């Protein structure tokens, strides 16, 4: 049973990576600004390939949950992060580019760091509880941070923009996971728990995070976006669990030091992926409504080759 659970977890990681890579293809090609609004999601929802990617990512989540039913969390969670390597390879295949050794090294650093974090944080089986007021404050905080990041992202070059947008997306998705955990755990005892404001907030925060996730893919730095989401999502969920749900943090000084080192390793790998020159070439074209680079002659013969400031990387 354990072997089957491991294989199912690997299949889930591949499906999530494949689904995200398919989504990136349409996110990059969609018309509009470099940092798009909510209408961007409606546009993507009409694209068959993006919908297929969404189904693929959803299938990956389901397979991951199935794997957890037959093996310990400490085995399945680290396997889930192998999706980053799948994502790097799939993105290179779709864009007809070589996978560079530096990408694999950086991806490996993220995987090792994230696996260490997942193993070091305590896991509890107790039923979590969260007051509606606390959930509202939590969702409001995510919205406030997201709005500030959205405004700032317009002024950043792609290598920094991807980290900011994906980090906010990861915070939103981690918050969604925490809220969903509360709803799901309480629904086991009382099925009417799903008919609560926490469920509404869970869906709203998930959609909000999806906007930032797709905008992060839109920068063309897919591997960096995927890595950032993989890192920030569980850290946010664990932080909320420790601060608001009583789930605790690594207890001993050694575990705390190892967790800090794992986090730094994962962050270093993510930054390396962001600054690497492996950007999707389709993302470098000029976006509607963005200012043209300084010194660029605006003529009918050159307008199609202009890029946004910092987008030439």
Question: Using CA atoms, how far apart are residues 186 and 306, in angstroms rounded to an integer?
Answer: 53
Contacts of residue 310, Cβ cutoff 8 Å, sequence gap at least 6: 156, 157, 158, 159
Query: What is the band of 303 on the pLDDT scale with cuts at 50, 70, 90?
Result: very low
What pLDDT, on a 0 to 100 scale, did the predictor assign at position 296? Answer: 39
In the predicted model, is pLDDT for residue 71 greater than 80?
no
What pLDDT, on a 0 to 100 scale, did the predictor assign at position 292? Answer: 44
pLDDT digits (tens, 9 = 90+) for 178-224: 888 888 878 877 788 788 888 999 999 999 999 999 999 988 888 88
Residue with token string 């790998």:
269
Question: Using CA atoms, how far apart are residues 313 and 78, in angstroms rounded to an integer?
Answer: 32
According to the per-residue pLDDT averaged within each range, which of 89-93, 122-126, 208-212, 249-253 is highest?
A: 208-212
Query: What is the band of 302 on the pLDDT scale with cuts at 50, 70, 90?
Result: very low
Q: Is residue 20 within a helix (H) or strand (E), and if so which, with residue range? A: helix 2-29
In the predicted model, is pLDDT for residue 300 greater than 60?
no
Cβ count near 200 (within 10 Å): 13
Q: DSSP states of 168-208 as a string?
A: HHHHHHHHHHHHHHHHHHHHHH-GGGGSSHHHHHHHHHHHH
- Range of weakest confidence among 6-20, 28-42, 93-107, 271-285: 271-285
Question: Using CA atoms, how far apart are residues 76 and 169, in angstroms rounded to an integer?
Answer: 23
Q: Where are the domains of the chain?
A: 2-282
Contact 295, 302 (CB under 8 A): no
What pLDDT, on a 0 to 100 scale, did the predictor assign at position 204? Answer: 94
Cβ count near 103 (within 10 Å): 23
Contact 85, 62 (CB under 8 A): no
Cα dihedral across residues 285, 290, 293, 299: positive or negative = positive
Q: DSSP states of 221-265 as a string?
A: -HHHHHHHHHHHHHHHHHHHHHHHS------SHHHHHHHHHHHHH
Q: Please state the pTM of the whole predicted model.
A: 0.79
Question: Using CA atoms, how far apart are residues 129 and 182, in angstroms rounded to an integer?
Answer: 6
């Amino acid at each position: 049973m354990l072997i089957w659970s491991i294989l199912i977890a690997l299949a889930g990681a591949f499906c999530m990576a494949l689904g995200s890579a398919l989504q990136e293809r349409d996110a990059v090609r969609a018309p509009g600004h470099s940092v798009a609004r909510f209408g961007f999601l409606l546009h993507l929802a009409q694209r068959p390939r993006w919908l297929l990617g969404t189904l693929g990512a959803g299938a990956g989540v389901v397979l991951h949950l199935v794997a957890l039913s037959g093996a310990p969390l400490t085995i399945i969670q680290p396997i889930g992060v192998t999706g980053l390597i799948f994502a790097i390879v799939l993105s290179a295949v779709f864009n007809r580019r070589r996978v560079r050794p530096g990408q694999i090294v950086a991806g490996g650093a993220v995987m090792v760091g994230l696996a260490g974090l997942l193993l070091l944080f305590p896991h509890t089986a107790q039923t979590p509880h969260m007051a509606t007021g606390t959930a509202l404050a939590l969702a409001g905080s995510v919205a406030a941070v997201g709005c500030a990041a959205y405004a700032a992202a317009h002024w950043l070059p792609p290598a920094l923009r991807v980290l900011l947008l994906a980090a906010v997306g990861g915070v939103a998705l981690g918050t969604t996971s925490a809220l969903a955990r509360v709803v799901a755990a309480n629904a086991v005892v009382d099925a009417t728990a799903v008919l609560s404001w926490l469920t509404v907030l869970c869906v709203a925060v998930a959609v909000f995070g999806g906007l930032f996730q797709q905008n992060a893919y839109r920068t063309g730095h897919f591997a960096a976006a995927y890595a950032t989401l993989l890192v920030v999502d569980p850290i946010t969920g664990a932080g909320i669990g420790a601060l608001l749900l009583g789930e605790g943090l690594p207890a001993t000084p050694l575990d705390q030091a190892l967790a800090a080192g794992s986090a730094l390793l994962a962050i270093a790998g993510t930054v390396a992926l962001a600054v690497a020159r492996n950007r999707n070439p389709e993302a470098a074209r000029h976006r509607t409504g963005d200012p043209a680079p300084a010194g660029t002659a605006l003529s009918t013969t050159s307008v199609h080759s202009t890029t946004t400031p910092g987008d030439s990387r």
